[in-house]
Chain A
């Protein structure tokens, strides 16, 4: 058992969970304004590519992250304009965003770097690892918590900030109002569209960070389709967490753990194809147990006295 569960398993869980968590928080804020953002996968992919591109062009990781954020915000504006102004079906827009991102990054990879499949530059600097003073010396905890890229810490910090924003501030309260009943919010003079735009742009920022963590955090490279479904897992984490930032952290951790665990299991001569299914099996099982009770409640109410 010692080999199955150890400090490095939980350490890699935190690393793996970061892009999922960041994207899921982006999904949560979109869901809170009534836009279900299926395009997270595409946003993260664009983030991952533009982080590498930014690093290549600007030669600085921090500037690269900012570059990635700006690119993904720009990309998310397409989603915002089509679903808010043109009132297209958000699911359809989200799915097309994913395909657009896949094609666009592959195309740019060839056009800009002139390579196929993956781009890797051994001289490129990735994100630094931060050792947290004091904590790093605590046994076990230090090994798990310390020594990650700054984005790992930022992700958890962002979750806490978002929790406070949504449930403690007036502005967050109005954001939730705009999502829950847009017509009523409009009748009170709350600028619903502006709030929706803000939320989509915020999800762009978070997905840009998620992408940067993917391409600059552990490895320093970009491969075609490197998000490999993490955006969709993030989507599920959003739903499981009922769009509550703290709930999203919990569900993201679950998926991050299963992901890390499946990699670990490969060391035990289990076929990789099998262990790779694990996170998704857990997703299905989780949906079974945590199904959104509010739908049930609504249905029951509709069946009872309709007054």
Chain B
């Protein structure tokens, strides 16, 4: 295969901090090259240099054997490099066609020819097997379609090398599968991909070659068929991961019980929650699997008191808490790691300290004032215990990486020390190290006899941690599997609305 792109001896320094040290990285025509590493390992910095958003301190970038210097992204785009950012760069009120052709809009007699744009998009979709409806508004499309639009956009720009930055973080399992198939097909048609991720099973499935980064240096470089997930994660983390196993506890009394909960949907639509009954007992982790949007969010909102059910009751430690305020429910014995850390879990603008205070405010209050010296001690304890990388306790939460913010939220909720914990997508978008920490804490909490309700769209997570697995489909519990019965196939079948096979 011909060498398309070469980054030679790239070093990037920010003051005294070296983000990338002497990195050699290359891409061949028609290959998928995975770039893996934990958050802060320097993957994004390297790609920003390739995409012209940063300039290297030293080193050179060659495309087709010729040295290039990029000062801004449009120059990189002209040289055939395209990037799909982790947070999508779409215009929600524009149509998909508009989003795709922007920057190279077809014109007719001086005006924007939207018909031609739509035709062009249909043609592209056909050619690469990624059809989209050109006239739909981007904001109304599911995330999988938005991602497809992003890829079509860089293809429209004429990209030969496409950088995908954490492309699967927000997608459902079936969307992930579809995406990986699409990029494999595109690679077969001669496009090259740089896949930035820390999900190793996706790397193993799609990538031809793998480069591992840790702390700004390359720690490994290999062909995917000569390696395995364990080897890669060792290179990423720099030590062996402690193998974790669930020790089955004898579950005790019920800590949380939901009885026949129903929540009506929009008029004429199916109910959001359809007669849901479930119990979480002391010392067990109950996993809820399901394709997102099948009622998991609503169930959590009902349990945590954010939404009142139309019928049914929620019991916490044997007490009926239906209709109680969120605060009352939390005080009755519930902690909650919410599913979306930016929307529900933390305030971007607030400091690490203030985010740590949330939910603990009544505990650190004296005469109406917050006792910040006490709180400071507690939060810095969390930072140490969970190895949260932050400048200081007064850093704004938005400057923390996703994984570190998630660890902060998890630490805060673990510190509530309540007998029942909701853990919703506790490790979404976090790296292997953070995942290990959070999983370890969840198992430890369960061991002390507390009950945990785990909601996750990652089947591996569900299978690894749960004592029982409930699958939700269209607002109802489609089936229950014990840890022994639960396999990926069984769960997937129930998730898709199939019947349980015995």
A residues in contact (CB < 8 Å) with B: 168-170, 172-174, 176-177, 180-181, 183-184, 187-190, 302, 304-307
Known A174-B102, A177-B91; contact A307-B293, beta-carbon cutoff 8 A: yes
> Chain A: interface secondary structure?
helix
Supply 13 A–B pairs (Cβ within 8 Å), ascending by A.
A170-B112, A172-B112, A173-B112, A177-B94, A177-B102, A181-B90, A184-B90, A188-B73, A305-B298, A306-B343, A307-B143, A307-B170, A307-B292
Contact between A184 and B340 (Cβ–Cβ < 8 Å)?
no
A305-B293, A305-B297 given; name 17 further pairs at CB < 8 Å.
Answer: A169-B110, A169-B111, A173-B105, A177-B91, A181-B90, A181-B91, A187-B85, A188-B73, A188-B77, A189-B72, A189-B74, A189-B103, A190-B103, A304-B297, A306-B343, A307-B143, A307-B339
Interface: B14 (CB within 8 A): no
Cα of A305 to Cα of B298 in the assembled complex, Å: 7
Cross-chain pair count, CB within 8 angstroms = 69
Which chain B residues lie closer than 8 Å to A168 at the CB level? 111-112
Which residues of B, 255-303, contact A by the 8 Å Cβ criterion? 292-293, 297-298
Contact between A189 and B89 (Cβ–Cβ < 8 Å)?
no
**How far in angstroms is the closest Cβ of chain B from A170?**
5
**How far in angstroms is the closest Cβ of chain A from B94?**
7
Which residues of B, 152-184, contact A by the 8 Å Cβ criterion? 170, 172
Interface string of B92-130 (1 = CB under 8 A from A): 111000100011010100111000000000000000000
Cα of A183 to Cα of B85 in the assembled complex, Å: 11
B residues in contact (CB < 8 Å) with A: 53, 72-74, 77, 83, 85, 89-94, 98, 102-103, 105, 107, 110-112, 143, 170, 172, 292-293, 297-298, 339-340, 343-344
Cα of A305 to Cα of B301 in the assembled complex, Å: 10
The 7 tightest CB contacts between A and B, nearest first, are A189-B74, A184-B89, A305-B297, A306-B340, A307-B292, A188-B103, A170-B105
Which chain A residues lie closer than 8 Å to B77 at the CB level? 188-189
Cα of A128 to Cα of B112 in the assembled complex, Å: 38
> Chain B: interface secondary structure?
loop
Cα of A111 to Cα of B170 in the assembled complex, Å: 63
Which chain B residues lie closer than 8 Å to A180 at the CB level? 91-94
**How far in angstroms is the closest Cβ of chain B from A160?**
14
Cα of A173 to Cα of B77 in the assembled complex, Å: 20
Cα of A184 to Cα of B146 in the assembled complex, Å: 14
Contact between A183 and B89 (Cβ–Cβ < 8 Å)?
yes
Which chain B residues lie closer than 8 Å to A169 at the CB level? 110-112
Which chain A residues lie closer than 8 Å to B293 at the CB level? 305, 307
**How far in angstroms is the closest Cβ of chain B from A279?**
31
**How far in angstroms is the closest Cβ of chain A from B343?**
5
Greatest chain B CB density within 10 A among A172, A183, A304, A305 is at A305
Chain A residue with the shortest CB-CB distance to B424? A306
Cα of A190 to Cα of B72 in the assembled complex, Å: 11
Cα of A241 to Cα of B177 in the assembled complex, Å: 44
Which chain A residues lie closer than 8 Å to B94 at the CB level? 176-177, 180
Chain A residue with the shortest CB-CB distance to B98? A173
Which chain A residues lie closer than 8 Å to B92 at the CB level? 180-181
Chain B residue with the shortest CB-CB distance to A174? B102
Contact between A184 and B72 (Cβ–Cβ < 8 Å)?
no
**How far in angstroms is the closest Cβ of chain A from B349?**
14
Contact between B102 and A188 (Cβ–Cβ < 8 Å)?
yes
Cα of A190 to Cα of B344 in the assembled complex, Å: 33
Which chain A residues lie closer than 8 Å to B85 at the CB level? 187
